[in-house]
Amino acid sequence: MSTPRKPLMAGNWKMNLNHLEAIAHTQKLAFALNDKDFDRVEVAVLPPFTDLRSVQTLVDGDKLRIVYGAQDLSQYDGGAYTGEISGAMLAKIGCTFVLAGHSERRQYHREDDDVVNAKVQAAYRHSLTPILCVGEGLEVRRAGGQVAHSVAQLDGALRKVGAEQAASIVLAYEPVWAIGTGEVATPDDAQEVCGALRSRLAELYDAEVAAGVRILYGGSVKSDNIAGIMAQPDVDGALIGGASLDPGEFVKICRFGELSS
């Protein structure tokens, strides 16, 4: 049976590329993508906040076939929260997606499941699609606790999130030990946790919700390791860090999304 889920390849630029560099990068990306026929994969970029206006201008002006989003949002909707960016601001600038619960936010900014849950709800209040990241560190992996850990993070983030909203979420399994390390999870590792996340969605909601949600893998994805990961039944795309900073390499990875659909 063919999957109804459109593959999604999302480039998380992290804290790289200023707004001028973002213009050059997006133009190269647009040229490479439009050069080929990418119909069956959704391509997203997640630039720093200060780049969003540049990216929006190019995407709108040139009708580019990419969508964009942010790497974080405030759990609050507005007011005296110095330094925060609200979901409303992101929606107004045309964001489709927003990351929630990335391990770097959990680790360096002490975001726990309650904060991640509040951010997921804030995203929905402003019609943004959360890309909810879960994944275990090395200690947990060595102890064999990767499924329990990732499922617990999913449960925490989806508290008070109804079926209609959950149906549109995107999940990303990003084992922390594989992020930026060159250590990529094996296709079986990726499938084990992505499959468990889908089963958990069926328990929390129903089979239809579970079957429709896209689940990405992230962690040292490159064009030479993505094929085996994309071949897994419960992997619907990738969240790409370092390799998304090279437009040629990113487009090559996106091509595997197209091929797998």
Is 180 marked within a binding site?
yes
Question: Could you say whether residue 221 binds ligand 13P (CB under 6 A)?
Answer: yes
Is 12 marked within a binding site?
yes
AA identity, residue 237: G
Question: Does the CA dihedral 175-180-181-184 come out positive or negative?
Answer: positive
State the residue number with the nearest CB to ligand 13P: 241
Q: What is the Cα 83 distance to its own chain's centre?
A: 23
In order, the DSSP letters of 15-56 are S---HHHHHHHHHHHHHHHHHS---SSEEEEE--GGGHHHHH
**202 exposure class (CB count in 10 Å sphere: 0-12, 13-18, 19+):** middle
Q: Is 102 part of the annotated catalytic residue set?
A: yes
What minimum distance in Å lies between the beta carbon of 184 and ligand 13P? 8
Question: Could you say whether residue 218 binds ligand 13P (CB under 6 A)?
Answer: yes
CB 17 within 8 A of CB 225: no
Q: What character string, x for contact with ligand 13P (CB under 6 A) and - otherwise, covers 194-213?
A: --------------------
Is 241 marked within a binding site?
yes
Is 18 marked within a binding site?
no
Is 36 marked within a binding site?
no
Question: Could you say whether residue 179 binds ligand 13P (CB under 6 A)?
Answer: yes
Q: Is 174 part of the annotated catalytic residue set?
A: yes
Question: Could you say whether residue 9 binds ligand 13P (CB under 6 A)?
Answer: no
Give me the catalytic one of 25, 102, 149, 192.
Answer: 102
Query: For ligand 13P, which is the closer residue by CB, 209 or 230?
Result: 230
User: How many CB atoms sit inside 10 A of residue 139's CB?
Assistant: 11
What minimum distance in Å lies between the beta carbon of 46 and ligand 13P? 8
What minimum distance in Å lies between the beta carbon of 174 and ligand 13P? 5
Give me the catalytic one of 42, 104, 111, 174.
Answer: 174
Look at the block and give the residue holding tokens 């964009």: 68
Torsion of CA 144, 146, 147, 150, to 10 degrees: 160
CA distance 238 to 200: 20
**Can you say which residues are annotated as belonging to the binding site for substrate?**
12-14, 180, 220, 241-242
Enzyme catalytic residues: 102, 174
**Can you say which residues are annotated as belonging to the binding site?**
12-14, 180, 220, 241-242
Interface residue list for ligand 13P (CB under 6 A): 12, 102, 174, 179-180, 218-221, 239-243
